[in-house]
Amino acid sequence: MEPTRAPKWNRDSAMILFVERDAPTRRVTPLDAPAGRDFERAGRGRQVIIMKTSISKSAVTSSTATSHAAIVAASPATAATPPEIANVPSVTTAQIDAFVEAIDQFSVLLGADFVVPQPEAAKRMAKPRKTAAAIVPMVADLSARYAVASTAYPTSATLAKQQLVNTLSPVAERIGAVQKLVTAIIAVGQSAAWQGSMVTYGLLKSEARGNAVLRNALAPVREKLRPTYVTEEGGKTKVRGRSRKATATKAAEASAATPETPTSPPAPAKA
C-alpha cells in the first residue's frame, strides 16, 4: 500500500490515504491551487484515490477542500460573536467631541483659581474622618450658639467649603462611574478589534504561502507582532530585556542601589 500526500504548499491540511497499488485513480486540481501554474506539466498533479468502501464521497475529496471549508468556518462572518463584543456601543465623533468640550469647560470652571497641591504639601494636609460631612455642621452650629469661633478659620468659610464638598461628591461619583464604563468599553472594543484583526491576519498568512508579493507586504505586520531590538553590542534580538535601553536602565539601577564606600584619609607618614 502506498501513501498519497498533498503538495508542500498545503502541508497543514495534508491527508494520507492507504489504498491498494492497482486501485483506479484520477487527476484532481486542488480548489485553492494558485492560478497560472500548470500542474500537469510540472508533474505535481494530485492523485485522489477512488475507493470502493463504505466511506462517503465527501470523505475522499481533496484535503484542500477540507482546509478551505475550515477557513471559511473560522471566518468572523460565520463565527458566533460573543454578546459582550456584539453590544459595543456606537458613538459618533461629534458626540464624543461635545462631551469632551463639556468636560473641558467644567475643568476650567473648577480650576480657574485653584492650585493643585504638590505631593509634599498633600502629605501635610489634615486627614478628615469619614463622618466629616456630618461633624462640620454640628461644630459650626455649636460655635454660633456659644459665640466661640476661630479668627483663622471663620465658621462661614468652613461651612462654605463643606457645602462645596457636598456638591462635588455626587459629581465625583458620576465621573468615576463614567470612567469605569469608558474603560470597559475600550477594553471590550480593543479585544474585538484585535480578534478580528488576528483572524484576518491568519487568512492572509495562509494566502501568502503561494503569493510572494503578499508575503512581503505582511513583513511590517510581522515586525510589529514581534519587534527586534538593538543590543549593547550592536546586534539584534527579539527579547526586550536584552536591548540596549534595557541594559542601560539595569546598569543605572544597579549603580544607584550600590552605596558609595567612604574613602578614609591617608595615614600620616611616620617620621
pLDDT of 66: 45
Same domain, 152 and 198: yes
* pLDDT exceeds 60 at position 240: yes
Q: Is residue 112 part of a domain?
A: no
pLDDT of 253: 72
Of the candidates 5, 9, 2, 7, the one whose C-alpha atom is nearest the C-alpha of residue 44 is: 7
pLDDT of 110: 87
pLDDT tens sequence across 15-25: 444 444 555 54
Q: Is residue 123 part of a domain?
A: no
pLDDT of 258: 64
Q: Residue 7 contacts by C-beta under 8 Å, 6 or more apart in sequence? A: 30, 44, 46
- Read off the C-alpha cell for 41: 506539466
Q: Is residue 91 part of a domain?
A: no
State the pTM of this model.
Answer: 0.53
pLDDT tens sequence across 192-233: 899 999 999 999 999 999 899 999 999 999 888 887 777 777
Alpha-carbon span 181 to 179, nearest angstrom: 5
Same domain, 191 and 224: no
Number of domains in the chain: 3
Same domain, 189 and 242: no
Q: Is residue 57 part of a domain?
A: yes
Contact 229, 239 (CB under 8 A): yes
Same domain, 222 and 187: no
Same domain, 205 and 223: no
In this predicted structure, which of 151-165, 179-193, 217-231 has the lowest mean pLDDT?
A: 217-231
> What average pLDDT does this structure show over 102-131?
90
Alpha-carbon span 69 to 67, nearest angstrom: 5
pLDDT tens sequence across 53-106: 444 444 444 444 444 444 444 444 445 666 656 678 888 999 999 999 999 999
Q: Average pLDDT of the chain?
A: 74
CA atoms within 13 A on the CB side of 246: 10
Q: Is residue 34 part of a domain?
A: yes
pLDDT of 252: 75
Alpha-carbon span 173 to 167, nearest angstrom: 11
Same domain, 200 and 224: no
Same domain, 172 and 241: no
Enclosing domain of residue 139 = 130-210
Same domain, 9 and 39: yes
Q: Is residue 35 part of a domain?
A: yes
pLDDT tens sequence across 126-146: 999 999 999 999 999 999 999
Q: Is residue 205 part of a domain?
A: yes
